Amino acid sequence: MASEKKTSPVSDVGAWAMNVISSVGIIMANKQLMSAKGYSFTFATTLTGFHFAVTALVGFVSNSTGYTASKHVPMWELLWFSIVANMSITGMNLSLMLNSVGFYQISKLSMIPVVCVMEWILHSKQYSKEVKASVVVVVIGVGVCTVTDVKVNAKGFICACVAVLATSLQQISIGSLQKKYSIGAFELLSKTAPIQALSLLILGPFIDYYLSGRLISDYMKTISSSAIIFILISCSLAVFCNISQYLCIGRFSAVSFQVLGHMKTVAVLTLGWLLFDSELTFKNIAGMLVAVAGMVIYSWAVEVEKAAAKSLPHAKLSLTEEELNLLKDGLEKGPIKDLEFGESN
């Protein structure tokens, strides 16, 4: 079993910063690209296929030049992961189309408790009272500043459930695969991106036609050079966004990624107010302040858990030394009968 690599606080902050900046940037670029006031490129699933195609190209160049090494991961696991990831993307798009924005936001917020339950079931992971309380504070804060009208129907509810379960499972799987095969974030992404790109580029146009009633082939006949530039900007930001997501989940956990990831929601709301004249009410501001407070509490609670976890090995070590000293004294004094050994550490 390979030993876990230690990461410095600076690199951890860098990974988070890359994820927040690239995610917010890609949302701003896509808003301009897809909005009616922008370029009306309403083919979200196909655009995601473009994102993974560019990511796969970057990974291929990196492997070919020897900058990164390719490690073996069974094809069935890569296919399984890609199916789950594509279900997440498609489910989110369908959920946004079939449900109100309010219910869509609630479904996204539900990912935090769903990830917690999944990690408890799959990995027997336990959470302290402080972590649970901070998660509740974050959910309430983000809910206050984002959830408005809540309308749902049977199809929309099913799509939202599929999206939440698939996204939660995908994020847990990223960390599990990296640990299981001792593979880096970018190396794993390089293996999954081509599969996701191929499948999304094949299925994407049909899904987008169902969602928007428009064919991408018709749009591409009249596409402007400015729209192409924004597509390239979106794809470039997606490379950093995808890499940073794998980096963050590989370094931390899916729960931490979800909780601190709500910083992006706060940032998007703020930038939307600054750049796109979006309305920012007292309710939005109050919710953002509560969410930020919850994130600070969560960070503190995680540090408390880490400190408690670090103290356990030292306690075991001193106990083991004591047992060894007793055993040594017994051997020096004479033969020992009926000696029982505990669990090996």
* Binned average pLDDT, 10 residues per bin, the chain of 345 residues: 52 78 83 85 91 93 81 90 90 79 71 79 76 74 65 80 88 86 86 93 91 90 91 93 81 66 65 63 72 70 66 48 48 44 40
251, 306, 328 from 310: Cα distances, Å: 17, 6, 28
Sign of CA dihedral 131, 134, 140, 142: negative
218, 219, 224 from 213: Cα distances, Å: 11, 12, 21
pLDDT at 265: 65
Q: Report the C-alpha gap between 294 and 300 in whole angstroms.
A: 10
The pair of three-digit structure tokens given for residue 224, joined into one six-digit string: 């402007």
**Helix crossing, 44-64 with 9-34: angle to 10°?**
140
Host H or E run for residue 122: helix 111-123
Place of tokens 């036609």: 209
The pair of three-digit structure tokens given for residue 332, joined into one six-digit string: 């020096």
Sign of CA dihedral 52, 85, 136, 122: negative
Q: Report the C-alpha gap between 161 and 3 in whole angstroms.
A: 36
CB atoms under 10 Å from CB of 156, counted, come to 20
Q: Report the C-alpha gap between 310 and 302 in whole angstroms.
A: 12
49, 56, 71 from 229: Cα distances, Å: 17, 20, 34
217, 219, 229 from 223: Cα distances, Å: 10, 6, 11
pLDDT at 52: 94
Residue type at 66?
A: G
Place of tokens 């992404």: 189
Q: What is the dihedral of CA 177, 108, 97, 276, to 10 degrees?
A: -110
Q: What is the dihedral of CA 283, 288, 293, 297, to 10 degrees?
A: 120
